[in-house]
Amino acid sequence: MLWNIPNSLTMLRILLIPVFVGIFYLPVDMLPKHWVNLSATLVFAFAAVTDWLDGYLARALNQTSSFGAFLDPVADKLMVAAALIVLVEIQRLNGLWGASIALIIIGREIAISALREWMAGAGERGSVAVAFIGKVKTAAQMTAILFLLYYDPIGAINVKFIGEILIAIAAILTLLSMAYYLKAAWPRISLK
């Protein structure tokens, strides 16, 4: 079934991307900066929750589909790429350092998605299945993005600093996980 509950949640995540991006382009007098930060953070957090929820519901309701398996990672990567581009644009990932981190993360997502598709076409999808390092990378990346979107201090907590540290850790984990997946796929790549 094409439009089951999990696929609908995934599509909702894609539809939230222009809403998320648009929040940062509202007129300044329409929404104070703190509320822009909070609104964007809440939209991104909601999208992250729907990512977990659609996978859970697909399994629990036995509504997995090849369309859902294709659409879900596309939605995830689009939302993360949109967030990183916005963070570069609003200079929370600024300069060469920030742009490099965004390019590393986005580039890895594209490269590993392409690798998975190629391996699936060769009947070897299992060799590049999601690994623990990929899950840790995703957790660090999503948490970092949430902190960088919110940006405002919470009491004595320097949200900006924590976000910058976490995004640097996420970039390192991004490179390590890419190396892991390439190493796992290498025997199949070198034989083809």
Q: What is the pLDDT of residues 41-73, one digit of tens each?
A: 999 999 999 988 998 898 899 998 888 888 888
Classify residue 72: in a domain, yes or no: yes
List helix spans (H) across the chain.
5-23, 33-60, 66-89, 95-121, 132-150, 159-191
Classify residue 84: in a domain, yes or no: yes
Classify residue 190: in a domain, yes or no: no
Give me the pLDDT at residue 110, please: 92
State whether the Cα torsion 132-74-87-26 is positive or negative: negative
Classify residue 63: in a domain, yes or no: yes
pTM of the model as a whole: 0.91
Classify residue 12: in a domain, yes or no: yes
Classify residue 95: in a domain, yes or no: yes
Total domain count, the chain: 1
What is the pLDDT of the chain when averaged over all its residues?
90
* Span 134-166, pLDDT tens digits: 889 999 999 999 999 999 999 999 999 999 999
- The two structure tokens encoding residue 67: 């369309």
Classify residue 191: in a domain, yes or no: no
Find the CATH number of the domain harbouring 175: 1.20.120.1760
- Note down the domain range covering 29: 5-185
Classify residue 192: in a domain, yes or no: no
What phi and psi, each to the nearest 5 degrees, are found at residue 154?
-115, 100
